[in-house]
Structure 1
Amino acid sequence: MGTCLCKDRSQRSRHVTSTTAGGGTAVGAGSGTTTVSITPTVLTNSGQRTASTSLRNYDDVSDLMVSEMLQHSDRNLENHGLLVYSVRGIDSLVVEALTLLRTLVDNDQEPPQSMLYIPKIAEEEKGWLVVVTSLIQSIPLEDPLGAAVITLLLDQCPLPSKSTTLKLTKLLKLSKDGCDGNFKSPRAQRNLCIILGCLAEKMAGPSSISLLTNDVLDYLISNMMYSDSPVVILHSIVAMEKFAETSQNKVTINKVLKSEPENLLMSLEKWYRSSQSEKQEVGFCAKWLLDNLFIVEGRKFSYESVDVNGLNVMLNSNDVSEYLKLSADGLEARCDASSFESVRCTFQVDSGVWYYEVSIVTAGVMQIGWATKNSKFLNHDGYGIGDDEYSMAYDGCRQLIWYHAQSRPHKHPCWKAGDVLGLLLDVDKQQLIFSLNGNCLLPNKELFTHAKSGFFAAASFMSYQQCSFNFGAKPFRFPPHKIAFKKFNDYGHLSSDEKVILPRHMKMALLQKESLPEGSCTLCCDKQASMVLWPCEHRGFCETCALQLERCPMCRVPIQERSADPEENTDRTITS
């Protein structure tokens, strides 16, 4: 379940409170001094954690003090003699949140206290700056949950004002020559790029345009050209993608990319077939951007050049949640959104014994297994495969088996890039078996309590996760021993048109040309539009699609409530 990491992303409308040059206050939760009383966990000189209650505020803290604190982590941020936090104390809260979120697997569990303190600290501008720089410096590169947790913690903090984000970029000293010396490590630069991407996504529109200064864009481009770290290059690409969600930014980025003697993305897409997982990620993202956002004249789209001969089963591009990226051959999937994205394959099994394999590209949270058509994809609520009674999934990051939104531990070690997950379904004996690199777990039978047939291979992905599927078109790495099984690819069938996975803009153009029933949902073009989004009052969405939206797709305003359209003669109200 990605619920604990994705749920209730309400995109708060409150802003960080900041004092302007003229003495005014930026738009935000309130004005003047904001003082909060919290009970933090702090580190004593002996390294022990202690709880202390004190009043804290972040007014009258200079930019110089913030900069000095970053260089002298033992220094406390004080105001009128009141203890606030040392940078080291905030670093401790960030690391504690990362550690505890791994164990937060139940919807009803209370979030760790550190997740409550961090947004409080960030309610004032100087506190927000210190929290963000702590995220940059504290989240380790090697933790598979690190990148997703940065997205989560930043999302819990107030939305910064334009002036606050400009202060951040000034503090980081971003330019074509790199960044401030405090942030030169691959860890810090990876985290920095993630934060830039998250801010671009949250601040879509004029705020995103103001954030993409020449220095910020030069920094991202220089990473792509000169960085020795594939992971820094990867997240620079993803940050540019999120900036390009705003059309003016897209034009700006495209102009810079075209001004280079050699297109940087075209150079990086060659890494797609690399044996090094991080380079494979870079190649996948570069190829996806070239197909969907930064189109190069004369370059063939991936679907035009990929060889799909012999592929009879793929991931279903018509049965996938909105932000999941699929490769042109339909065998690889990646999520860079802050939601829990899911997909099913094109082939259904009703009887017999079936097996498929998944190669792990990233070691974070993915739930991979089996699902029927009754299994729902609620990506923004964090519900995916294994989170209802019609699906079951294996989670190799948190070492869990998921069924009906409940989990239990398994005995496999945490998966890592390059590992192979095997998935065996025996419909006749009503059991399924998971294996990691050929090491099998005991059979699981719970799925058959509510589902007897109609099973699909399926998976759900947290942020920045990627894996590839083998449905039998090529030899399996760890085929089951002494068990007769069938391969999806030997029994499936796809027409030539069904094998084509179009770029999103082409798919949308085709949908617009199709003759649709009057009143159809503008997103799925299938069910009847019946919902109104509030507060913007935009219409044209069915209930299923409306529940999966977080922002109105027409005006990008955060959705606070969904209600039935009065013309439908119902009085239902659905709140997020």
Structure 2
Amino acid sequence: MIVAAWITFCACRSLARVLLFLSSSNSLPPFWETFASVVTGTGTMGNSCVCREDSDLEDHHHGSSRAARGQARRVDHGTSVGVDTVEARSSRPRDPVRPPRRGRGPHEPRRKKQNMDGLVLDTLAVIRTLVDNDQEPPYSMITLHEMAETDDGWLEVVQSLIRVIPLDDPLGPAVITLLLDECPLPTKDALQKLSDMLSLSSAVARQDALNPAKHRNTTAVLGCLAEKLAGPASIGLLSQGTLEYLLESLSSEAHPTVMLFALIALEKFSQTSENKLTVSESCISNRLAVLELWAEQPDYLKRQVGFCSQWSLDNLFLKDGRQFTYEKVNLNNINAMLNSNDVSEYLKISPSGLEARCDASSFESVRCTFCVDSGVWYYEVTVVTSGVMQIGWATKDSKFLNHEGYGIGDDEYSCAYDGCRQLIWYNARSKPHSHPCWKEGDAIGFLLDLSKKQMIFYLNGYQLLPEKQVFSSATSGFFAAASFMSYQQCEFNFGAKPFRHPPSVKFSTFNDFASLLPSEKIILPRHRRLALLKQVSIRDNCCTLCCDVMADTELRPCGHGGMCMECALQLETCPLCRQDIQTRVRLIAHVS
């Protein structure tokens, strides 16, 4: 028996060697290839055992993969996103504004303190690539967040932001907002130390006139902190010296970008009522009355200052004897505009209804007042700021989730053009386009051909290939729509004036076919809208969502009600219990 076993073993080994030789030519099935490697001892079964622990190997693998991902995401401002990177991320949903925080992994060594300025600049360099929900934030951002968990670390981060963010990068202020918004809230002691270090005053505002980047970054930091803080913390930060510094930054000698962010900071400080009273008593309205004349300036930076000055005079810092802009703007030839009733909460819309701006840390969106179901339609947008905006087409089913960072192009009912990151967005996925990065003054064209079921995007008359994905989910009811990252602004032309680069095909314009009542064209300042709402009497049995018609609908299976059918149809989950809605039942005859 021993002899027989030995003969069998030798025969198997010889057979295995033959099979192994044949496997080198890839002519064997996987089973025989595995058999040969196991018998001859050349396989890796020992290394692949599930119970084997090799922490050194695993740590090396994690480090290599992180380094590869970091290298793939490192993008210079002057170049577009690499094809490999875009293709890899195009199959994943996205978060355009705010990446998630991530703790230290089990195999990651504790990060050592690094050069703070370098980390800030690295974050600025890769910010254009933060487009995926499941995309790991860049190493630099994670490290900065960890450093900011102590008071001293937070102060170092703030000082670095003020010191190194360049003036000419269109995403610089947005990066300041992004980093500070994700960092822990500063303590009272940290805020006091920051005030002492900055030691702001009107004299400081006049210093370093040749270094406007420092003052722009300082005012951007103050604005971001004012937006995050509330009550006593915000009041304490707006010291007399800080107020004098911001007011002096509005003087005609200051750089326009410093003026812009000083005004935005004062707006955000005024979200606290005591601060608003303090700022109003400083006669700021007299300064803004001069600056609002810049709203029609051909210089796009001064135009932003004029827009924000006009908005502040209409909504915050009222001036005695001044006529509100909506009362004097000529809207006679405007039949389509941005819809002030179909907009996320923090977007600023001009009284003409054709210009919009976002100064909040959220991703704000808006649709226009006119939708189309058939034909060929075209509109244009003039870029006022060259940062992140997603502009295109959306149906009523497209949802605005501003705090989650979702806007136009982030669901199956919309498609958007992003000229900053050179991407086309549909269903929260992106793909690169061939246009160069947009810049201030560029004209972006948007053609919708519902007969051919395609959308075409133009940059200064140069078109891209048609986009057709959205028509798998929506075929009618399209609105012009846009979403804005922080400190972005653009102007819409729906046909009320000649287009700069009209397409060669025959098309229609919104302005030629839409119509609005005079009352529908008025975009009231917020305080006047609130005053009108307070005068509206609400019936006891009205819909709790729209407060307009009778509540006559019950949600099933949860059984909750208190809403009308029109509002219920827009819900996917019950607003009371968050249970999925299967059916909606109208209980009584609808009576207005």
TM-score range, shorter chain: 0.7 to 0.9
Q: 1:5: which partner in 2?
A: 97
Larger radius of gyration: 2
Question: For residues 523 and 397 of structure 1, do their structure 2 counterparts lie closer, same or farther at Cα, with a shift above 3 Å needed?
Answer: farther
State the alpha-carbon separation in 1 of the partners of residues 342 and 350 from structure 2: 14
1:509 is aligned to 531
Structure 1 counterpart of 2:432? 409
Q: Out of 214, 217, 222, which is 1:188 matched to?
A: 214
Matched, 1:211 2:237: yes
| Structure 1 residue matching 2:381: 3-state secondary structure | strand
> Counterpart in 2 of 1:486?
508
Q: Give the deviation of 1:204 after TM superposition.
A: 1.2
Alpha-carbon distance between aligned partners in 2 of 1:430 and 1:270, rounded to the nearest angstrom: 43
What is aligned with 1:317? 340
1:135 aligns with 2:198: no
The Cα of 1:226 is off from its aligned counterpart by 4.5
The match for 2:132 is: 106
CA contact (8 A) 1:312 1:489 kept: yes
| Distance (Å, rounded) in 2 between the aligned partners of 1:296 and 1:521 | 38
For residue 103 of structure 1, report the CA deviation from its aligned partner. 1.0
Q: Give the superposition deviation at 1:417.
A: 0.3
Number of the residue aligned with 2:194: 168
Offset, 1:313: 0.3
Q: Which residue is equivalent to 1:239?
A: 265
Find the counterpart in structure 2 of residue 121 from structure 1.
147
Distance 1:541 1:206 in 2: 39
| Cα gap change, 1:492 to 1:571, in 2 (>3 Å) | closer
Corresponding position of 1:202: 228
Asked if 1:440 corresponds to 2:468, the answer is no
Give the fraction of aligned pairs with identical amino acids, expressed as a percent. 57
The Cα offsets for residues 486-538 of structure 1, whole Å up to 9 and x where unpaired, read as: 0110000000000100001111111222233448788865698x9xxxxxxxx
- The CA deviation at 1:263 is 0.3
2:373–2:477 Cα contact (<8 Å) kept: yes
Task: Determine the C-alpha separation between the residues in 2 that align with 1:390 and 1:55.
Answer: 43
CA gap 1:450/1:113 in 2 versus in 1, 3 angstroms: same
Which residue in the other structure is 1:336 paired with? 359
Give the aligned residue type for 2:265.
Answer: A
| 1:7 and 1:380 in contact (8 A); partners too | no
Match for residue 300 of structure 1? 323
Do the aligned residues in 1 keep the contact of 2:383 with 2:443 (CA within 8 Å)? Answer: yes
Secondary structure at 2:407 match in 1: coil
Q: Residue in 2 aligned with 1:495?
A: 517
CA deviations on 1:66-91 (whole Å, 9 max, x unpaired) are xxxxxxxxxxxxxxxxxx44xxx111
Q: Which of 129, 152, 157 is the aligned partner of 2:178? A: 152
Which deviates more from structure 2 when the two are superposed, residues 515-524 or residues 297-306? 515-524
Kept after mapping to 2: 8 A contact 1:7/1:382: no
Task: Report Cα offsets for 1:185-209 as digits up to 9, x if no partner.
Answer: 2112111111101111111111100
C-alpha distance 475-111 of structure 1, shift in aligned 2 (>3 A): same
- TM-score, normalization: structure 1? 0.77
- Cα distance in 2 for partners of 1:102, 1:144 equals 11
Q: How does 1:243-262 map to 2 (within 5 A)?
A: 243-257=269-283
Match of 1:284 in 2: 307
The residue matched to 1:414 in structure 2 has which SS? coil
Deviation at 1:257, TM superposition (A): 1.8
Q: Measure the CA separation in 2 of the matches of 1:229 and 1:487.
A: 39
Query: Deviation of residue 158 (structure 1)?
Result: 1.3
Q: Is structure 2 residue 377 aligned with structure 1 residue 393?
A: no
Residues 218-275 of structure 1, C-alpha deviations (whole Å, 9 max, x = no match): 00000001443100000000000000000000000000126xxx80010110100000
State the match for 1:356 in structure 2: 379
SS for the counterpart of 1:95 is helix
Q: 1-side partners of 2:440 and 2:541: how far apart? A: 46
Corresponding residue of 1:94: 120
CA distance in 2 between partners of 1:372 and 1:426 (Å):
15
Equivalent position amino acid for 2:351 in 1 = A
Contact 1:38 1:117 in 2 (8 A): no
Shift of 1:169: 2.0
The residue that corresponds to 2:586 in the other structure is none
Q: Measure the CA separation in 2 of the matches of 1:143 and 1:395.
A: 17
Is the contact made by 2:94 and 2:132 (CA closer than 8 Å) also made in structure 1? no
Give the aligned residue type for 1:147.
P
Q: Which ranges in structure 2 are unaligned for 5 or more consecutive residues?
A: 1-92, 554-561, 568-572, 581-592
Report SS of the residue matched to 1:319: strand
Tell me how far 1:165 sits from its aligned partner.
Answer: 1.3
| Structure 1 residues 215 and 318, CA gap change in structure 2 (3 angstroms) | same
Q: Per the alignment, in what secondary structure is the counterpart of residue 263 of structure 1?
A: helix
Structure 1 residues 184 and 122: alpha-carbon distance in aligned structure 2, compared to 1, 3 A threshold = farther
Aligned 8 A contact 1:178 1:222 in 2: no
More strand by share: 1
Q: Is the 8 A contact 2:360 2:486 kept in 1?
A: yes
Task: Name stretches of at least 5 consecutive residues in structure 1 with no aligned partner.
Answer: 11-35, 40-51, 57-83, 531-539, 546-562
The verdict on how the C-alpha distance between 1:301 and 1:139 changes in structure 2, with shifts beyond 3 A counting, is: same
**Distance change in 2, residues 1:107/1:164 (3 Å):** same
Q: In 2, are the aligned partners of 1:137 and 1:183 still within 8 Å (CA)? A: no
With over 3 angstroms needed to count, the CA separation of the structure-2 counterparts of 1:231 and 1:182, relative to structure 1, is: closer
Map 1:460-479; keep pairs closer than 5 Å: 460-479=483-502
CA distance in 2, matches of 1:152, 1:206: 23
Question: Which letter maps to 2:116?
Answer: I
2-side partners of 1:199 and 1:9: how far apart?
Answer: 19
The answer to whether the 8 A contact 2:374-2:451 is kept is yes
- The residue matched to 1:286 in structure 2 has which SS? helix
Aligned-residue Cα RMSD (Å) equals 3.0
Structure 1 residues 36-47: aligned runs within 5 Å: none
| Secondary structure of 1:177's aligned partner | helix
CA contact (8 A) 1:348 1:455 kept: yes
Q: d(CA) in 2 for partners of 1:458 and 1:408? A: 19
Residues 183 and 196 of structure 1: CA distance in aligned 2, closer, same or farther (over 3 Å): farther
Separation in 2 of the partners of 1:222 and 1:522?
A: 47
Q: Name the CA distance, whole Å, in 2 between partners of 1:202 and 1:184.
A: 30
Mapped to 2, the partners of 1:521 and 1:92 lie a distance apart of 54
Question: How far apart in 1 are the matches of 2:537 and 2:485?
Answer: 35
Amino acid paired to 2:186: P
Q: Does structure 2 retain, via aligned residues, the 8 Å contact 1:6–1:380?
A: no
> Structure 1 510/255 Cα, relative in aligned 2: closer, same or farther at 3 Å?
same
Partner residue in 2 for 1:274: 297
- The structure with the greater share of residues assigned to helix is 2
Farther-moved stretch of structure 1 (466-475 vs 109-118): 109-118
Residue 6 of structure 1: CA displacement? 3.4
Say if 1:6 and 1:338, in contact at 8 Å, map to a contact too: no
8 Å contact kept, 2:94–2:133: no
Please give the alpha-carbon distance, in whole angstroms, between the structure 2 residues aligned to 1:164 and 1:523. Answer: 42
| Equivalent residues of 2:99, 2:137 under 8 A apart | no
- Aligned match of 1:450: 473
Contact between 1:365 and 1:397, CA under 8 Å: does it hold in 2? yes
Check 1:399–1:518 CA distance in 2 against 1; reply closer, same or farther (3 A cut). farther
SS in 2 for 1:102: helix
Q: Verify the 8 A CA contact 2:219 2:265 in the aligned structure 1.
A: yes
